[in-house]
A and B are shown apart, each in its own frame.
Chain A
């Protein structure tokens, strides 16, 4: 009977799935980190914090803090960043994912003592603009990856920003923008930074740089990050290369 066949397939698949879930709940050591990252990405996109933390509890039994952060949480965030760039997920999901990820990392640090390496001082800022969300998402991603980040706030003038960078000897400055005038103002900041803090590398991001891919070069930034995770990867590469 056709109906019985489809029932059989459905029941078999369901049983397999249930057995799989049971085996995971029993804390099997075989919890695959790649698969865990994919599961976590789903929880992030659904803004399902309880499931994300339940997964974290299971991971904590079998994995180190570094594995959880580097092989599960960060790949999930990175995939979400890529999908946002392709128009497949929304900014609200990107923001909430970062927020949940930060809370997860706080718990990882408490339970495993995970500490990330630091390859230089990093600051995030919004120049002139009052739109803070991009910087907030960036700070979440950096912090989740284990970076110690100085948050310079928003609506800063070029003079204020450059003075802070010079004062703190910042190695890597990440500027988030939403409006075109603020993105253009980076050019003035770059001129002053090159004079007063020549070792500082500047990574810019935000809508104007997405809509005009040539803008980053025009304002003299060292790099453009189209998403928060791409900015993080650029930053890590610069740190590795000692740029």
Chain B
């Protein structure tokens, strides 16, 4: 039985202590549209919808956080690009806003008064008000190192990274300026922590050596200037080869992927970096309630002891296709297997 507020539970776990039970972050964004009977596009057209949707999700799944995140392409919209909506998934970023290296000199970091950013801040303020200090509200920024995938396309960005370091660093400086401002505006609006989404940092995407020379330096600079604690998320990418580097960026938690062994991650990170994960969001769509329970139990067994663990999915966003039944089964399994002390683990 829960004896702590979500805020106290999460804070205790992030301090590497055992709270009353394992905290759970069901990172649902588009499900709010389903709850309100709206299209995803309409849902994300007004902060009030997101506030209402998150309140419903929180009550329905007894979630340990509120998640005001809209979709990744909002940052691209702020930079002057487009978002392309579909009916059953997060919108894609439209055509690249950077096509040539000259464009890097021309683009300007978005103003915080941009309507899409204002809407995001309005959703945060509404949810912070609702949380009343009892529930963590999680802000989100895309890392300056990863957002160019949407600014210029993956291929263009990899070419830039390998072939034009001067332009790469010019872009990083502009992206860093925006990222720090945007994160700190969210901190000012009251978020408990900022998720620093950095999929390109993952060793699935760039080599550890490359990361140390680029994305890690960017992360160190940005995270040190953030007015709220950060949790780095690699969005389904591998982390083990760069754990020490991620620790050195000063982040407090790490979203980890299902392709790596959670027990090994826990062993390496114990006492230094809290873990967030690592339920397979793609596979989750087809789980039965029994499978969901087994997966939750397995995660808790591997990473729950000693705290420093929040059960979540491995991507940072649960697909629209995942059913209420599976989500409720996950949540029920946390109640069944997540209560501390975890005496059932031999």
Contact = CB atoms under 8 A, between A and B. Distances in A.
Contacts of A128: 86
Contacts, number: 79
A214 B291 CA distance: 15
Given A130-B94, A180-B319, A90 B203 contact: yes
A47 interface: yes
Nearest to A207: B236
Given A132-B155, A181-B86, A212-B282, A90 B206 contact: yes
Determine which residue in A128, A184, A211, A214 has the highest number of CB atoms from chain B within 10 A of its CB, and name it: A211
Interface in B54-100: 84, 86, 88-90, 92-94
Given A92-B161, A129-B92, A211-B258, A184 B321 contact: yes
A211 B280 contact: yes
B132 interface: no
Interface in A75-117: 87, 89-93, 95-96
B interface secondary structure, majority: loop
A181 B282 contact: no
Contact of A92 (B206, B236, B283): B206
B162 A96 contact: yes
Contact of B205 (A90, A130, A214, A215): A90
B291 to A, nearest CB: 12
A93 B93 CA distance: 24
Contact of B84 (A130, A133, A218): A130
A211 B236 contact: yes
A33 interface: no
Contacts of B282: 180, 207-208, 211-212, 215
B305 to A, nearest CB: 25
Interface residues of A, number: 29
B154 A133 contact: yes
Contacts of B161: 92
B259 interface: yes
B25 to A, nearest CB: 19
A130 B92 contact: yes
Contacts of A156: none
Contact of B154 (A89, A131, A211, A214): A131
A136 interface: yes
Interface of B: 84, 86, 88-90, 92-94, 153-155, 158, 161-162, 203-207, 210, 236, 238, 258-260, 280-283, 285-286, 319-321
Interface of A: 47, 87, 89-93, 95-96, 128-133, 136, 155, 179-182, 184, 207-208, 211-212, 214-215, 218
Given A130-B94, A131-B154, 18 more contacts: A87-B238, A90-B204, A92-B205, A93-B207, A96-B162, A128-B86, A131-B92, A133-B153, A133-B155, A133-B158, A155-B92, A179-B92, A180-B282, A181-B89, A184-B88, A211-B236, A212-B280, A212-B282
